């Protein structure tokens, strides 16, 4: 298996370029992030070139304080599309592979219509080489978030029916509210664009909790998943002290 360090949580105490270098030293195969926009893209590009790592993805901004995305908020289309344009420009500048379009706190048919329209806008504007991702967030951590389950995401993607718009399958979020991880990973494989993980239920390193990630990773490998899995967990101390799971796993195939 190959792994990507999510630098929104790992080495979050360091400037993003230094976090990229730390991920390389630790043995990760790629990196990803949340909101890199305060760091000049040229500095990120330099770190990526030095390490040979690729930035797999980034998020659109959350919006105002207390918000968690804009793209499913009726009446906020101008802000949502400005956030999409910002993410596309930054992703192009650093060679990122995907953009997570954050939906926000909303519900109902108007929210769904806004989300679909903004996803169409994003796909029209985004180069073909950059995937767009939508991610269900669990109701415990993000109550009221528009996108809450993989079934809801699959239905939206079927209605949208656009190439290059995929599901971000976060094993942590799915494990918190849906369970049955390996069956869902198998059944949803055609629409999955990226996989992330953390322990359930505390979102720590994947070496404890309700989910046996050795089993999950083996099942993902058996399905022929070709890309790095995103380590999006919250260390309880220094990141380097949380990486036993990475050192103990078999070498990447």
DSSP 25-53: HHT-SEEE-S--TTS-HHHHHHHHHHHT-
43 is catalytic: no
* Residue 164: alpha-carbon gap to chain centroid: 15
User: Which residue in 49, 79, 232, 241 is the catalytic one?
Assistant: 232
232 is catalytic: yes
Find all residues with CB under 8 Å of 132, minimum gap 6, and list them.
98, 99, 101, 119, 122, 123, 126, 164, 165, 166
Q: Give the burial class of 159: count Cβ atoms within 10 A of its Cβ; 0-12 exposed, 13-18 middle, 19 or more buried.
A: exposed
User: Which residue in 32, 107, 128, 135 is the catalytic one?
Assistant: 135
Active site residues: 135, 232
């Amino acid at each position: 298996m190959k792994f990507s360090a999510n630098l929104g949580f790992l080495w979050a105490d360091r400037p993003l370029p230094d976090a990229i270098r730390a991920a390389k030293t630790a043995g990760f195969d790629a990196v990803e992030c949340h909101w890199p926009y305060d760091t000049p893209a040229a500095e990120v590009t330099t770190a990526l070139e030095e390490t040979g790592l690729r930035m797999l993805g980034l998020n659109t901004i959350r919006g105002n304080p207390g918000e968690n995305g804009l793209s499913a908020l009726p009446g906020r289309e101008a802000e949502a599309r400005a956030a999409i344009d910002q993410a596309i420009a930054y992703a192009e500048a650093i060679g990122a592979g995907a953009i997570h379009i954050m939906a926000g706190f909303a519900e109902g048919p108007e929210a769904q219509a806004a989300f679909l329209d903004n996803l169409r806008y994003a796909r029209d504007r985004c180069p073909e080489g950059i995937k767009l991702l939508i991610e269900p967030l669990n109701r415990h951590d993000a109550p009221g978030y528009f996108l809450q389950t993989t079934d809801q995401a699959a239905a939206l993607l079927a209605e949208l029916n656009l190439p290059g718009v995929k599901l971000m399958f976060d094993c942590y979020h799915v494990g918190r509210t849906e369970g049955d991880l390996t069956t869902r990973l198998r059944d949803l494989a055609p629409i999955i664009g990226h996989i992330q993980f953390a322990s359930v239920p505390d979102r720590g390193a994947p070496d404890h909790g309700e989910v046996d990630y050795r089993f999950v990773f083996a099942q993902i490998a058996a399905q022929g998943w070709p890309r790095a899995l995103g380590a999006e967990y919250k260390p309880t101390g220094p990141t380097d002290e949380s990486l036993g799971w990475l050192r103990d796993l078999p070498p990447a195939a």
